[in-house]
């Protein structure tokens, strides 16, 4: 509880602090002077302040708009502030609530905090008291968002520690382009095949930008259902069909002050493309079911493996959105274009993944490394990373899948993943070494070895018999 020795605030608003987060605040008080004072004092700081003279008026606003914080008087005609606060919490309102009152005792303060108030201030108060309560409330809201972003990032295994590894001319050029673009606030479009590391490039852009202290919020547009994607991005302020409130913030709000990474942006439905374009141009969003537009301060980085110029010609992607996203375009090269980085990548993945998996590192022989550099890696760096992860679990380089792909391409006489290189003898030797290593790792258990290798026990027994190892 804050003491309040000064009269009802009439002092002019103090100088606006250097930095306040963009926010939306609702002031609920039956005194016109108090509503006017708080509106004038807070609007320059947070961006948007609405007022209401009663709980009934405020309830209408809360159902239409989204608020980060509510300043609520306790003693009002009709429902008092504590009673309405209890109803708000029961309906699912998760924003911060600061209660103010001229008549209170310790029991009232305890009841207010139990009802879900985040702060309690006695009238009359200094302006600095309400500003401190406001700042602390918005900081708590921001912390909740950051925790949510962190949990989401961990659950999606964002490869934050992997980095853009390599010293080839192609990778050095990519790193230089990221350094040049990171410091500006322009929208960036990352293009390239699947698995080339577009999310890593987006993360590098964020970490080298002026927004590095803000959140990095990745979303894969291809994994969101068309029915939910709008509320996922922009939030929701509507009631559900059963009458329950389904208010939630969207990813734009969670990314405030930071970067929103729209992976596979080419998968967005056409109607939502128009909504996204408007948000980028106006820097404001409207949650589903809301009448309120929320100002947003977010840098957009988009990525796609689709050729968006062809998608626009085919009518599947809006040309105006394409040009808005393509302020700066960075293309990520496929791994087959910089195979000289494979040894460095292999070493990096072994060093970083082995501790995470809790297993011993594996050794890759020069012959095995040459073999890895023969392969064209249609899945790019992601495929190589997954191979190393599987190999670490097995305890030896897992080349069976790559061997089968190379052998099949060689038999078919088509575009081999390792064009122009002699394959058969080296590959058969590597396959033998790999299978025997897996067998050794499971103490000769052929059933378990066959499961790990992804082949039948009969096939395994036939191979071993051919080598005279049975």
Whole-angstrom Cα distance, residue 171 to residue 220? 24
pLDDT band for 12, please (50, 70, 90 cuts): very low
Decide if 92 contacts 245 (C-beta within 8 A): yes
Q: Within a 10 A sphere around the Cβ of 318, how many other Cβ atoms?
A: 19
Instruction: Report all structural domains of the chain as residue ranges with CATH numbers, in order of start.
Output: 23-143 (3.40.50.2300), 156-333 (3.40.50.300), 336-466 (1.10.8.60)
Q: Where are the alpha helices (DSSP H) in 116-155?
A: 127-155
Looking at per-residue pLDDT, the higher value among 260 and 371 belongs to: 260
When mean pLDDT is compared across 110-114, 302-306, 431-435, the lowest value belongs to: 431-435
d(Cα 369, Cα 78) in Å, to the nearest integer? 78
CB-CB contact of 415 with 409 (8 Å): yes
Residue 97 reports pLDDT greater than 70: yes
**181-207 pLDDT per residue, tens:** 998 889 999 999 988 999 999 999 998
| pLDDT 10s digits, 392-409 | 887 878 766 565 555 554
Q: Six-digit token pair at 362?
A: 């594996």
pLDDT at 427: 52
Residue 356 neighbours by CB under 8 Å, 6+ apart: none
Q: For the range 440-448, what are the long-range contacts, defined as Cβ-Cβ under 8 Å and sequence gap of 24 or more?
A: 441/394, 441/395, 441/396
pLDDT at 454: 61
pLDDT per residue as tens digits for the range 39-84: 888 888 887 889 999 888 888 888 777 788 898 888 888 888 888 8
In this model, does residue 330 exceed pLDDT 80?
yes
DSSP label at 16?
P
For 54, 79, 96, the CA distances from 113, given in Å and listed in that order, are 20, 18, 12
Q: What is the 3-state composition of the chain as percent helix, strand, coil, each rounded to the nearest 5?
A: 50, 15, 35
Burial class (CB in 10 A: 0-12, 13-18, 19+), 340: middle
């Amino acid at each position: 509880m804050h003491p309040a020795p000064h009269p009802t605030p009439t002092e002019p608003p103090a100088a606006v602090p250097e930095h306040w987060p963009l926010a939306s605040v609702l002031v609920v008080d039956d005194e016109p002077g108090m509503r006017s004072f708080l509106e004038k004092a807070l609007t320059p700081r947070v961006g948007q302040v609405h007022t209401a003279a009663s709980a009934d008026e405020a309830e209408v606003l809360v159902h239409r708009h989204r608020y980060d914080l509510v300043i609520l008087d306790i003693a009002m005609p009709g429902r008092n502030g504590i009673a309405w606060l209890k109803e708000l919490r029961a309906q699912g309102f998760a924003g911060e609530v600061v209660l103010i009152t001229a008549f209170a005792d310790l029991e009232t303060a305890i009841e207010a905090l139990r009802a879900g108030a985040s702060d309690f201030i006695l009238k009359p108060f200094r302006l600095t008291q309400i500003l401190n309560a406001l700042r602390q409330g918005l900081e708590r809201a921001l912390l909740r968002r950051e925790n949510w972003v962190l949990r989401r990032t961990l659950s999606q295994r964002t490869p934050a520690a992997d980095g853009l590894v390599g010293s080839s001319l192609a990778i050095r050029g990519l790193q230089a382009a990221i350094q040049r673009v990171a410091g500006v606030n322009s929208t960036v479009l990352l293009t390239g095949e699947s698995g080339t590391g577009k999310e890593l490039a987006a993360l590098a852009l964020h970490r080298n930008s002026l927004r590095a202290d803000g959140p990095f919020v990745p979303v894969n547009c291809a994994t969101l259902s068309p029915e939910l994607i709008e509320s996922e991005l922009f939030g929701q302020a509507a009631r559900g069909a059963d009458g329950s409130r389904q208010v939630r913030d969207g990813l734009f709000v969670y990314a405030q002050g930071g970067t929103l990474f729209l992976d596979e942006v080419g998968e967005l439905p056409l109607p939502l493309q128009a909504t996204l374009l408007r948000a980028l141009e106006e820097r404001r969003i409207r949650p589903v079911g809301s009448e309120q537009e929320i100002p947003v301060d977010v840098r957009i980085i988009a990525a796609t493996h689709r050729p968006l110029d062809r998608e626009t010609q085919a009518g599947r992607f809006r040309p105006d959105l394409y040009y808005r996203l393509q302020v700066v375009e960075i293309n990520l090269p496929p791994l087959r274009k910089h195979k000289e980085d494979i040894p460095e990548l292999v070493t990096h993945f072994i060093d970083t993944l082995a501790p995470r998996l809790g297993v011993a590192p594996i050794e890759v022989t020069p012959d095995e490394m040459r073999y890895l550099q023969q392969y064209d890696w249609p899945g790019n760096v992601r495929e190589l990373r997954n191979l190393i992860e599987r190999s670490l679990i097995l305890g030896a380089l897992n080349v069976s899948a790559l061997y089968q792909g190379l052998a099949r391409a060689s038999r078919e006489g088509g575009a081999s993943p390792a064009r122009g290189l002699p394959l058969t003898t080296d590959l058969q030797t590597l396959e033998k070494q790999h299978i025997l290593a897996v067998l050794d790792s499971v103490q000769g258990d052929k059933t378990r070895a066959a499961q790990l290798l992804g082949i039948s026990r009969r096939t395994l027994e036939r191979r071993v018999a051919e080598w005279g190892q049975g």
